[in-house]
Structure 1
Amino acid sequence: MRQHQTFYILGFLTEGFSMRFLLGGVVVVLILLVVGIGLALLGFFPTNANSTPPRFEQQIATAAFDASMERRAPRVNNPIPPTDENLIDGLKIYTMNCALCHGGLDRQPSLVGKSLYPPSPSLILHPLDDPEWHVFYAIRTGVRYTGMPAWDKTLSESDTWKVTAFLTRVEKLPPAVQDFWQKSAGVAAPAESHEHHDHADHK
């Protein structure tokens, strides 16, 4: 009987300690949240965009973006075949809508893109290495807290798939598309290399 009572008391104390520990953790999180909001409202957090994001901020943003994409982006195949005509259309769409921030066909970095916080990735100098469904979803829905808008109200799904096909084949374009690039920009299309950027570099 005494042994049973001892186990009961120990279990009660352990359960009570666990509950107090959990409650204490919740209180600490709430306090930190309130303090963080207070500091933000009092102007202690910088809002300027002409600075480099700290590494921890980039890591948190990257992890959050990756998790959101994995959870939300539909894994669908590109319904637009990567023909010469469609890839050239994608190149034109990119030039008209994306090059200002992500760099033009002249393979020079964008000053506007470098001025954003965080800087936008240079998709010509450092082509993407993501599946098409990933790129399509990022273009259609945009990326919060960056300069990347949602294009679902501006570009049709067909045009979005075309520019997606182009962006995922920048270094693997067929000869006819490379010739069009050369004639349009006066420079050759980039050759395939091992240096790629993924969606994380948006942030």
Structure 2
Amino acid sequence: MGKFILGVIITLIVLILGGLGFATLGFFPTQANVAPPRWEHHLANTAVDASMERHAPHVTNPVPPTDQNLEEGMKLYTMNCALCHGGLDLKPASLANSFYPPAPNLPTHPPDDPEWHLFYTVRTGIRYTGMPAWDKTLGEPDIWKITSLLSHLEKLPPAAQEYYKTNFGVVPGGEKKEGMKDRDKD
């Protein structure tokens, strides 16, 4: 039995040292301009979700999704988030594919995470992804407005939807406003 335990310990030490050697000798790719392998994408998403579950407070959004708050959320999103996550006019983000992993296009693929999860993500950022922590730049009410917008993109109330259509030429479902030119072809 002692030899078996010694064998397990030696195997673990060899695996750990092998992994460290792999990383420290430069075999682990660090380029941001290549697509992550499927296993890495899955592992990273699993780790982020598990970390959110453990660390993010499960709080209720104190900012109600009123028309005014959603409109302010649209302005804040456009000023702070669109460069990486895509514009509310549904144009792709200019920097999205420069990140590793690529930043998701939120207006075309709205997140389905709970609001507390979105808030924590925006407030604290996500390490090793390029997603910054916004808590030093935006106040909590503004972060909650962005959170509220993201969680209501597919079900905006009529006045907020009209504001969206008037200012961005589309509705969140991607339908272009009548008479608007196709901005994606410019």
* TM-score grouping bracket, smaller chain normalisation: 0.7 to 0.9
What amino acid does structure 2 have at the position aligned with 1:89?
E
Q: Name 1:148's counterpart in structure 2.
A: 131
Q: Deviations over 1:74-109 (max 9, x none)?
A: 110001111100111111111110011110011122
CA distance in 1, matches of 2:28, 2:66: 49
Find out whether 1:36 has 2:55 as its counterpart: no
What amino acid does structure 2 have at the position aligned with 1:120?
A
Asked if the contact 2:125/2:134 (under 8 Å) is kept, the reply is yes
Structure-2 change in CA distance of 1:86 and 1:51 (3 Å): same
Find out whether 1:99 has 2:45 as its counterpart: no
What amino acid does structure 2 have at the position aligned with 1:75?
H
Can you give the 5+ residue segments of structure 2 that lack an aligned partner in the other structure? 175-186
CA distance in 2, matches of 1:62, 1:93: 26
Structure-2 change in CA distance of 1:84 and 1:57 (3 Å): same
Structure-2 change in CA distance of 1:92 and 1:21 (3 Å): farther
Structure-2 change in CA distance of 1:65 and 1:23 (3 Å): farther
CA distance in 2, matches of 1:180, 1:93: 14
Asked if the contact 2:36/2:101 (under 8 Å) is kept, the reply is yes
Residue 110 of structure 1: how far off its partner (Å): 1.6
TM-score by length of 1: 0.80
Structure-2 change in CA distance of 1:43 and 1:89 (3 Å): same
TM-score by length of 2: 0.87
Q: Name 2:72's counterpart in structure 1.
A: 89
Deviates more, 1:30-39 or 1:71-80: 30-39
Q: Name 1:196's counterpart in structure 2.
A: none
| 1:125-164 equivalent positions in 2, closer than 5 A | 125-164=108-147
Find out whether 1:25 has 2:8 as its counterpart: yes
Residue 170 of structure 1: how far off its partner (Å): 0.5
Q: Name 2:163's counterpart in structure 1.
A: 180
What amino acid does structure 2 have at the position aligned with 1:81?
P
CA distance in 1, matches of 2:3, 2:52: 36
- Structure of higher CA gyration radius: 1
- Give the RMSD, CA atoms, in angstroms: 1.6
CA distance in 1, matches of 2:43, 2:5: 24
Quick one: which of 50, 54, 57 aligns to 2:40? 57
Asked if the contact 2:108/2:172 (under 8 Å) is kept, the reply is no
Find out whether 1:123 has 2:114 as its counterpart: no
Q: Deviations over 1:136-160 (max 9, x none)?
A: 1111111111011111111111101
Residue 20 of structure 1: how far off its partner (Å): 4.6
Structure-2 change in CA distance of 1:152 and 1:25 (3 Å): farther
Find out whether 1:68 has 2:30 as its counterpart: no
